[in-house]
Structure 1
């Protein structure tokens, strides 16, 4: 009968937790992480905000490299470079290292610079209104350019974004509804895409682990391709629920995580590498609220978020976003003791633990699950449960045993 008590207690706790959650939270604002200069906890931040924030023109795109933030200013027709040395910064002009560019058609001048990336000591900029890519050194000196208006290979129609990956340049050639690929000297290599394939202009992109992630802005979708341009999968649709977007405006991919700037929902959504929703950076009174975040870049386990109307860049430690504190209710020690002494059989205990993990009554770090197995539970795992029940060992050691059972396929989560 003890295994029935096990499930009864778990069900009551789950029911009460659900009542509490529905009364205390809004479903759209499930998570909020990091911190603001005025807000406190967490390692992220974006300065003071409000009336004390300098009226910096809207950022359109940002890149990061070697302790510096590179920002393209769409309407100023400039590139500005700022230092990065901590997580609580407002980027002000008196903080600037260099700036370069002005309105014009000649080398080193811009008409609406949009995308920007930095690689191997060079700054690459999509000079959208001039339908070309310009390349500069890190001091802002003009190096080279390629492209002109048109639809033939190597020509552009309003290029929006650019990324460097494995010695290739990937350009979102937006109004031609395609992605073009070049070598580092600007020589055309390949292209893929069409109006039928993209359905809306490819707006932003990132390239990671031999996959190309494209923001289809007007379709509120993320589309994923291999390096040959073959379609793999897509995710997202218009809406306000998790996994839905209203005008997604940028994407950054790193470490099996996909970050999407969900601009008109004023949040950054985070997905696993297959497009499954994980969590989000969300507007929350405890932190500096987002106001239409529109640009992202990742560097050294940090995610930088350019916020359209807050006039600054917030910075968050990625590892902090996914740190999981172990949580195991004390009453489970009784069940562990009964299992260790044989009062509960293996199947009942493992099924109970699986249920509690799936319903977040037991919280453990993410664990890769093995193929489902009906194998025998090792004796050392039962011993560990008994020692934990008697408080001979700590929670962490017991969690390691649970993770072992998950990896071996004996517990399904």
Structure 2
């Protein structure tokens, strides 16, 4: 198998927010033009037809609050007399930070669409700064064809997996596009420096003047819903390409979706699907020709289908091998943590090994505490009597929610230190 494809390993796309679980916070409704705390500057919000003739809308969300948020942006376009709206569930955004977005409308028929001002709601959330910095030195270069190359550095003390860099592309007097690093970056170690490159859409290449608002993130996923066997099938993907118009065939076993890669370089795609039976075996074609891919399963029990995407390509992707019907409700706590719980209760694993599973729940915000001290693993601690409620949970005498509430309370009170 191609070495580039082999480098795409199983990953949890929701490194901050699990697919099946929203953040445990209140939703705050914020009219876009009424307040200045979370907003999209209208001079950084525009629509254009890309090199494939697809109407594309780009913008930049700014958070001026003193707390983190997860923004949800509604983008609407009037196509003749019809209004088409799409929702972007964006990545967590820290206080005083900004993050660009891009969305495409391949279904538009008019040559003169009208872009409506965006609407924003957000969830208050605990966020952590991503310790990735753009190196503003002579290595940051805008080239004659409009693309930019540069370097990033991990200034933190932990490995960062699957980082991505966004930026706003400017002309002389206006914003032209939103772009991202074209390379798939699996990880960046503490202190490590890696090169990146960004390409604007070929339709606006000649007008590029400069890049700004570089925004590093460690998770960028796009949610999609397709009708399947008389219900909704929710899945997600992460890619340097864009996918739309997802639909299943009448049997509910084959998913087709249109893909567009406007960039002149190869990129990647990684689809995440909830399991139906857990025994699915997928196959993938592009324009009815088989392509190489990797199928894997992540720590949350979700399937991943990953493959390379050719430069300046477009076509219909078909993924077959889905079981009929809709996925069952996924447990909030992964089964492997429940297995660990049984091993811990029966003294087959150590306290620290069990606490690694609980730490995973906090990392994925399955359970949340406003502030948690960052401590070394050698200082982790859990009283032996916590085995009692853990045993009740393993024996299903209490629910996942009950157990999560117990763990959250014990961590808040620093009875469990992790």
**TM norm structure 1:** 0.32
* Higher strand proportion (structure 1 or 2): 2
| Higher alpha-carbon Rg | 1
**TM norm structure 2:** 0.32
* Higher helix proportion (structure 1 or 2): 1
